[in-house]
Amino acid sequence: MDLTGVLRGAAARLQFAPESRWEECVALSRGEPADAVLKWFDGFHDENIGAELFYEAEAEERRFSAFIGFRCNFAKRRAFVEAAARGFAAGKFVRAENFIAAAEREFRAPLFTGWPDFMELGLVNMWKSFGALSFAPLPEEPYAVFFATVSASPRWCGALPAPPALELAFSSPVPHWLGVDFSSRAADGWTLDMKRAEAFFEKLRP
Q: Which among 142, 124, 147, 136 is positioned nearest to 203, based on CA atoms?
A: 142
Per-residue pLDDT tens digits for 88-147: 999 999 999 999 999 999 999 999 999 899 999 999 999 999 999 999 998 888 999 999
Please give the sequence-ordered ranges of beta strands (E in DSSP) within 19-148, or none if there are none.
Answer: 26-29, 48-59, 62-73, 118-123, 133-135
Per-residue pLDDT tens digits for 23-51: 999 999 988 999 999 999 999 999 999 99
pLDDT at residue 118 in the model: 95
Distances from the Cα of 199 to the Cα of 62, 85, 131, 158, 194, angstroms: 10, 33, 24, 21, 9
Mean pLDDT of the chain: 93
Cα–Cα distance for residue pair 63/86, rounded to 1 Å: 27
CB distance 162 to 190 below 8 Å: yes
pLDDT at residue 61 in the model: 62
- Helices then strands, counting H and E runs in the chain, come out as 6, 10
Strand ranges across the sheet with 176-181: 26-29, 9-18, 48-59, 62-73, 176-181, 164-170, 118-123, 133-135
pLDDT at residue 206 in the model: 61
pLDDT at residue 185 in the model: 92
pTM for this model (two decimals): 0.94
The average pLDDT across 74-81 equals: 97
Per-residue pLDDT tens digits for 141-178: 899 999 999 999 999 999 999 999 999 999 999 999 99
Please give the sequence-ordered ranges of beta strands (E in DSSP) within 114-193, or none if there are none.
Answer: 118-123, 133-135, 164-170, 176-181, 183-186, 189-192
pLDDT at residue 64 in the model: 86
